[in-house]
């Protein structure tokens, strides 16, 4: 069974942070090998000038918001997450999927881990609560 390809255009149509997270979660297992002994390959990629330029463009596009969700500012270093996981072959062959703006979104480290491990509990409650005007002032 072939999995469906996720896209940035579809992601940003999803209205809430938690629904965007659920759209992207992978349900992996802690310690599951992705690049294994070939991890140096993705590290070479992520240190390349080409990636750094692409990354900067994506952070600007997403306004530095977690899951490109308005109001969810990323504190710390943003991660540019591939919506559809890349493989060793993608890196070796410099697949179009690596630098496709439709295949990436900004996330914080906590959200990135939650996506990969499929664990909603890694998200903080503040990420899930939808805020409204005066909701912290009970007498209004």
| Structure confidence by residue, pLDDT tens digits, 39-79 | 678 788 999 999 999 999 999 999 999 999 999 999 899 99
Average pLDDT over residues 29-44: 63
The predicted pLDDT at position 129 comes to 47
| pLDDT averaged over every residue in the chain | 84
Average pLDDT over residues 2-21: 91
The predicted pLDDT at position 127 comes to 42
Residue ranges per structural domain of the chain: 8-29+36-122
Average pLDDT over residues 112-126: 82
List the Cα angle 65/67/68 in 5-degree steps: 50
Average pLDDT over residues 73-98: 92
pLDDT interval class at 31 (50, 70, 90): very low
Residue 66 and residue 7: Cα distance in Å, rounded? 16
- pLDDT at residue 103 is higher than 70: yes
The predicted pLDDT at position 132 comes to 62
Residues β-bridged to residue 105: 81
Measuring CA to CA, which residue among 6, 21, 75, 82 is closest to residue 46? 82
Task: Report helix, strand or coil for 105.
Answer: strand
Higher pLDDT pick, 64 / 30: 64
DSSP conformational letter for 6: P
Average pLDDT over residues 74-90: 92
The predicted pLDDT at position 1 comes to 38
The residues, ordered by sequence, that sit 6+ positions from 11 with a Cβ below 8 Å of its Cβ are 20, 23, 24, 67, 68, 83, 105
């Amino acid at each position: 069974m072939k999995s469906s390809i996720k896209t940035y255009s579809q992601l940003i149509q999803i209205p809430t942070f938690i629904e965007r997270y659920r759209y992207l979660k992978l349900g992996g297992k802690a310690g599951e090998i992705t690049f294994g002994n070939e991890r140096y390959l993705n590290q070479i990629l992520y240190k390349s000038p080409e990636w750094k330029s692409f990354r900067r463009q994506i952070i600007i596009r997403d306004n530095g918001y977690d899951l490109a969700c308005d109001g969810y500012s990323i504190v710390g270093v943003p991660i540019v997450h591939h919506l559809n996981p890349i493989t060793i072959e993608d890196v070796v062959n410099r697949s179009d999927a690596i630098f496709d703006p439709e295949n990436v979104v900004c996330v914080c480290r906590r959200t990135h881990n939650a996506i990969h491990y499929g664990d909603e509990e890694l998200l903080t409650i503040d990420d899930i609560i939808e805020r409204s005007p005066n909701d912290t002032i009970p007498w209004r």
